[in-house]
Amino acid sequence: QLQLVESRGGLVQPGGSPRLSCAASGFTFDYYAIGWFRQAPGKEREGVLCISRSGTITDLDSVKGRFTISRDNAKTTVYLQMNSLKPEDTAVYYCAADRKLFGRCVLQEYEYDVWGQGTQVTVSS
């Protein structure tokens, strides 16, 4: 069974630096690009960052320099390190997997085949 499980998010103060993880199982992890998406209240889901098989990263302009993504193929886990969080980063964060043997990953939802259940991150003082 293909599965992605995000770690718990929670309440974070502005300026905080939480790290989310996404644990994969049931598929050949290193054949897949992994992306992080988010959906803020009242908004459409958007792609935030993704990492290809080779480690190439694609990111959203609004998180450049603040968020990073990394993968540990041995642990079949991807991490989203978020720094300098702002209230507008409040959202449900999802990880997703795209079977993509070659090329750069993209932040388009329709490319992704497997999704996690999402985890809420709330940025507030």
Averaged over successive runs of 10 residues, the pLDDT of the chain (125 residues) comes to 95 97 94 97 96 92 94 97 97 96 93 96 97
Q: How far apart are CA 68 and CA 82, in angstroms?
A: 7
Res 118: pLDDT: 97
Res 42: pLDDT: 95
Using CA atoms, how far residue 67 sits from 78, 89, 90, 114, 120, in Å, is: 13, 11, 14, 22, 16
63: left (phi over 0), alpha (psi -120 to 50) or beta: alpha
Res 95: pLDDT: 98
Res 1: pLDDT: 87
Place of tokens 């290193």: 30
